[in-house]
């Protein structure tokens, strides 16, 4: 990822999902500043005595950074496939070196990438079983790329569940304050109402935090999931339209 300059990112359509994440992150940042300025975030953290809202927000921030890392890691995969397709269309040549390097004309696919390993596996399979089908390899590539994305999707559901947990905790606090009433003098009722208000605040605030953070996190990882789908679709197209015929032609020439 160190060879990715910002000017290249601006020109490269393979990084569209990354820019979508950045736009959403900017909107979230502006919204957070406005909420902080109006005192809502301060109230959220001070009124939620269960600290569940703080946990939800901290998990959301950490997982958002994890999603950014995924997009930075997956976008070059799509860039490699697009470059390979472009050179395959122009040159019509595929070379597989002895050390496993894959080249389409003058373009050499980057080492260490999942799509490069996939192309190497396709070349090996074609050499051993020319009539075989490559669906299993495509599925394996899809599973490999989606494994980390599914973690984020699962954690977005966890944020929803934490919000529901806060709702339950808040209601328990409310019911506990009612159960502690021993008499009905003014001071006892005042204390009970304050405890009920605190419990209601915990219930509502954690619900809002869970719903908002869970929805936003799910949206972020939808960008990553869409990027994976695009990578798999374009990889399958490159394989079926160009790679398999090129390998068959190479065997025929030999």
- The pLDDT tens digits of the residues spanning 129-159 come to 766 666 788 899 999 999 999 999 999 999 9
Chain centre to alpha carbon of residue 243: 30
Look at residue 85 and give its three-state secondary structure. helix
Residue 2 reports pLDDT greater than 50: no
Q: What is the CA radius of gyration of the chain?
A: 27
Q: Which stretch of DSSP H or E encloses residue 94?
A: strand 94-96
Name the residue among 83, 212, 66 with its Cα closest to residue 149.
Answer: 66
CA separation for the pair 133, 1 (Å, rounded): 33
Beta strand pairing call for 94-96 and 107-108: unpaired
CA separation for the pair 21, 15 (Å, rounded): 10
Domain map (residue ranges) of the chain: 6-157+220-253
- The pLDDT tens digits of the residues spanning 206-237 come to 999 999 999 999 999 999 999 999 999 999 99
Contact 174, 200 (CB under 8 A): yes
Question: Two tokens at 56?
Answer: 């939800």
Contact 227, 81 (CB under 8 A): no
Residue 1 reports pLDDT greater than 50: no
């Amino acid at each position: 990822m160190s060879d990715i300059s910002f000017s290249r990112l601006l020109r490269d359509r393979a990084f569209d999902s990354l820019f979508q994440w950045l736009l959403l992150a900017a909107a979230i940042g502006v919204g957070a500043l406005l909420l902080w300025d109006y005192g809502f975030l301060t109230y959220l953290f001070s009124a939620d005595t269960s600290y569940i809202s703080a946990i939800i927000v901290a998990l959301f921030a950490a997982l958002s950074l994890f999603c950014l890392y995924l997009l930075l890691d997956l976008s070059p995969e799509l860039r490699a496939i697009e470059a390979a397709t472009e050179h395959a269309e122009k040159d019509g040549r595929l070379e597989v070196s002895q050390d496993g390097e894959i080249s389409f004309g003058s373009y050499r696919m980057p080492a260490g990438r999942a799509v490069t390993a996939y192309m190497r596996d396709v070349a090996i399979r074609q050499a051993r079983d020319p009539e075989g089908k490559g669906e299993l390899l495509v599925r394996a590539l899809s599973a490999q790329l989606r494994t980390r994305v599914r973690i984020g999707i699962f954690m977005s559901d966890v944020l929803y569940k934490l919000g529901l947990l806060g709702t339950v905790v808040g209601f328990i606090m409310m019911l506990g304050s009612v159960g502690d009433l021993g008499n009905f003098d003014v001071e006892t009722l005042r204390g009970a109402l304050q405890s009920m208000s605190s419990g209601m605040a915990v219930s509502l605030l954690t619900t809002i935090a869970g719903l908002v953070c869970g929805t936003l996190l799910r949206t972020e990882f939808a960008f990553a999931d869409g990027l994976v789908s695009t990578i798999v679709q374009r990889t399958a197209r490159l394989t079926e339209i160009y790679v398999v015929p090129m390998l068959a032609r190479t065997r025929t020439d030999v």
